[in-house]
Amino acid sequence: MPKYLFFVLVILTVVKVQGQTKEEKINTLVNTYSNTDRFNGSVLIAEKGKIIFEKSFGIQDFQTKIKNTNQSKYRIYSTTKTFTATVALLLNEEGKLSLNDKLSKYYPDFPKGDSITIENLITHTSGIPGDRGPESTKNEDIFIKSISQQPFVFSPGKGWGYSNSNYYILGYIITKASGMPYPKAIQHYILDPLGMKDTGFGFKDLKDKNKTTGYEYLSPHNYREAVVYDYDHPHAAGAMYSTVEDLYKFEEGIKAYKILNKETLKKAQTPFKTYDFGYGWHRQIIKGRTTIGHDGAGPGFISRFITIPDEDISIIILSNLKDNSVFEMTDKIIAILSGEKYDLPKKVNIGTKYEKELTGLYQSKNSFFYILANDNILSFKETNEGEGILFTESPAKFYINNQIGDRIYFEFKPDSKGKNTVLNIVIKDKIVKEAKKIDDHFLWGVTGSATANGWNGPDIKLTPTEKNENILEAKNIPLKSGQIKFRGNNEWTLDLGINDNNQLVQYGRNIDVEPGTYDIIFDTTNPVRPSYQLIKKK
């Protein structure tokens, strides 16, 4: 599933807060991230079985201005995998399946099914590639047919590769082995025994005053809602929602062996072979400490669910803004709990002059960078690599921290004309990638089965109108019965479909089109939330 998106620029000021308790320091830290528009969500910290900090920040919904609370419900995406693996291991304890079962037992025609075990699925060692998006995961038959046609990433059992497909299949096997639908199995084996009444499936259709809206972008003056997936995507790999309090119930219940026995839990949380991933649990080294848990991230939401076993510390952070500063914030929470120094973020203005100079399309040797600076937020999206919102260190130097705390710098350099048109990606003082600005715009176009060239392009080019460069158009375009999407630069790094409100969103659904001749209008006046019109000619 996808990785990170639009965040606010900050600089870091080294601060040593004197005379505060750990709880007060954590509150100051998280509140500062919230006040600089870098965090929107709920936080729960527990130490030695006692909750020492629980608080919510920001808004549950931009339009209603309802604030997040400790009962707010968030998509937890891949944290779902820990629940899925737990039920599979429990069914193994009950003898309803075996970790050594071959995939061919459940899907006789699956390629290499005799070489793939349930253990391979749980530990991401099957070699099965990732799914191809919502259209390929509508139901079990469509998914199995789609994934069976894709080449393996590596031979089963001969490598490690994180793949949602493993857990899709695992969910279907749980249904077959337990005799109940996958969501019912999760309910029966985990949610009911632990009293997790605020956790479940079907977030899209959930009617609840505590339901949060997920955002790709959120600032005091602007926002863009994230696409809301149907249940079947991403299924047992990431379809659940929860609250910080319910996830803490899960953590405490697991720790007390209320679900799995001691031997099984130890196996689950121990890295498989030489990999950092066990049976639904991920081991990470953060600030020199070994943590176990499972993060989740997808359109509009981030989930951080980790524990430090040696110190009996639990950190649970749920956000309805997909901002990777959650990971940096976690590092600093651990620093506070350990009595170490840490930084507080401070908001800084970029200025409209720099926003205009930095925004545009950049090309490196092997990828494109889409840089958008708007309303004091600078974001990037790179071909096949990732996306995120950047912190700022100077007007032309920005950075982002990855999940394990490595700092990646984005340094914009002037060309011979004095403009910031060269982007250097720097890690540990070494330039690892250089990209040159090739256009001030993203070169939007239209692709799809309704176009003459189909999904593989070349795209229908959208060009600025004479009166307004922010309004792009293509006139008198014949379209067939089919579907379209908008995308940048004739490739799939930046593509926009629609949500249920017919708004353009990243990873949105394809737009249905009837046959006819059209004027296509694409309005980027608000670059964060562009809109479109399809005007059918008579």
408-426 pLDDT, tens digit each: 999 999 888 777 789 999 9
Thinking of the domain 352-439, which architecture would CATH place it in?
A: Beta Barrel (2.40)
Q: Which residues pair with 509 in a beta bridge?
A: 498
Question: How do residues 56-98 score in pLDDT, each as one tens digit?
Answer: 999 999 999 999 999 999 999 999 999 999 999 999 999 999 9
Which residue type occupies 355?
E
Beta strand spans in 338-443 (E): 342-347, 360-363, 368-374, 377-382, 386-389, 391-394, 397-401, 407-414, 420-427, 430-439
User: Residues of CATH 3.40.710.10 domain(s) within the chain?
Assistant: 42-322
Six token digits for residue 199 = 């956790």
User: Residues of CATH 2.60.40.3620 domain(s) within the chain?
Assistant: 444-536
d(CA 85, CA 240): 14
Radius of gyration of the chain (CA): 24
- Per-residue confidence (pLDDT) for residue 6, from 0 to 100: 30
Q: Identify the weakest region by mean pLDDT among 40-54, 118-132, 263-277, 419-433.
A: 419-433
In CATH terms, the fold of domain 444-536 is Immunoglobulin-like (2.60.40)
467-492 residues labelled b (16+ CB within 10 A) or e (exposed): eeeebbbbeebebeebbbbbbbbebe
Average pLDDT of the residues of the chain: 91
- Per-residue confidence (pLDDT) for residue 357, from 0 to 100: 87
- Per-residue confidence (pLDDT) for residue 405, from 0 to 100: 67
Six token digits for residue 367 = 């990828």
**42-322 homologous superfamily:** DD-peptidase/beta-lactamase superfamily (3.40.710.10)
- Per-residue confidence (pLDDT) for residue 16, from 0 to 100: 47
d(CA 53, CA 291): 19
Distances (CA, A) of 355 to 178, 291, 321, 401: 55, 39, 22, 22
Question: What average pLDDT does this structure show over 192-217?
Answer: 96
pLDDT band at 10 (very low <50, low <70, confident <90, very high): very low
DSSP 206-267: ---TTBPPPEEEE-SS-EEEPP---TTTTHHHH--EE-HHHHHHHHHHHHTTSSS-HHHHHH
Question: What average pLDDT does this structure show over 354-363?
Answer: 90
Question: What average pLDDT does this structure show over 248-255?
Answer: 98
